[in-house]
A = this chain, B = another copy of it.
Amino acid sequence: MILAVDAMGGDNAPDCVIGGIRYALKKNKDLTFLLFGNEPVVRPFLEKYKIDPKVYTFVHTEDAVPPDEKPGIAVRTRRKSSMWLAIDAVKKGQADAVVSAGNTGALMAFSKVILGTLPAIHRPALLALIPTRKGECVGLDLGANAVCDARNLVEFAVMGEVYCRIVMKKSVPVVGFLNIGSEKTKGRDEIRQAAQILEESPSDTRRFYGYVEADGVGKDAVDVVVCDGFSGNVLIKAIEGTARLVVRLFKDFRSGGILGFFSFVLAVPLLLFLKKKMDPRRYNGAMLIGLKGISIKSHGGTDAVGYANAIGVAVETVKYDLLGQITENLKNVKFPDVTESGEKASAEQAKD
Tell me if A246 counts as interface (CB < 8 A to partner B).
Answer: yes
Interface segment among A80-88, A151-159, A200-208, A263-271: the answer is A263-271
Q: B residues within 8 A CB of A274?
A: 246, 249-250
Q: Mark A229-250, 1 if CB is under 8 A from B, else 0.
A: 1110111111111111110111
Per DSSP, are chain A's interface residues mostly helix, strand or loop, or mixed? helix
Given A146-B188, A188-B147, the answer on whether A263 and B270 have CB atoms closer than 8 Å is: yes
State in angstroms the CA–CA spacing of A104 and B98 once bound together: 46
**Do B237 and A234 touch (CB < 8 A)?**
no
**Do B243 and A270 touch (CB < 8 A)?**
no
**Do A213 and B237 touch (CB < 8 A)?**
yes
State in angstroms the CA–CA spacing of A277 and B248 once bound together: 12
Q: B residues within 8 A CB of A267?
A: 263, 266-267, 270
Q: B residues within 8 A CB of A218?
A: 241-242, 244-245, 248
Q: Which residue of B lies closest to A146 (CB)?
A: B188
Shortest distance in angstroms between A334's beta carbon and chain B's nearest beta carbon? 26
Given A180-B234, A184-B68, the answer on whether A269 and B259 have CB atoms closer than 8 Å is: yes
Q: B residues within 8 A CB of A342?
A: none
Tally A residues with Cβ within 8 Å of B.
66
Q: Which residue of B lies closest to A241 (CB)?
A: B215
Given A146-B187, A242-B242, A266-B263, the answer on whether A233 and B214 have CB atoms closer than 8 Å is: yes
**Do B238 and A234 touch (CB < 8 A)?**
yes
Q: B residues within 8 A CB of A234?
A: 178, 180, 214, 227, 231, 234-235, 238
**Copies of this subunit:** 2
Tell me if A49 counts as interface (CB < 8 A to partner B).
Answer: no
State in angstroms the CA–CA spacing of A332 and B149 once bound together: 36
Q: Which residue of B lies closest to A265 (CB)?
A: B266
Q: B residues within 8 A CB of A236?
A: 214
**Do A266 and B262 touch (CB < 8 A)?**
yes
Shortest distance in angstroms between A233's beta carbon and chain B's nearest beta carbon? 4
State in angstroms the CA–CA spacing of A117 and B246 once bound together: 38
Q: Which of A249, A253, A263, A273 has the most CB of B within 10 A?
A: A249
Q: B residues within 8 A CB of A214?
A: 233-238, 241
Question: Which listed residue, B215, B231, B245, B269, touches A132 by the CB 8 Å rule?
Answer: B245
Tell me if A252 counts as interface (CB < 8 A to partner B).
Answer: yes
Shortest distance in angstroms between A264's beta carbon and chain B's nearest beta carbon? 7
A-B contact pairs, 8 of them (CB 8 A): A143-B180, A146-B187, A214-B236, A215-B241, A218-B244, A246-B274, A256-B273, A263-B270
Instruction: State the A residues within 8 Å of B (CB).
Output: 67-70, 104-105, 131-133, 143, 146-147, 178, 180-181, 183-188, 213-219, 227, 229-231, 233-246, 248-250, 252-253, 256, 259-260, 262-264, 266-270, 273-274, 277-278
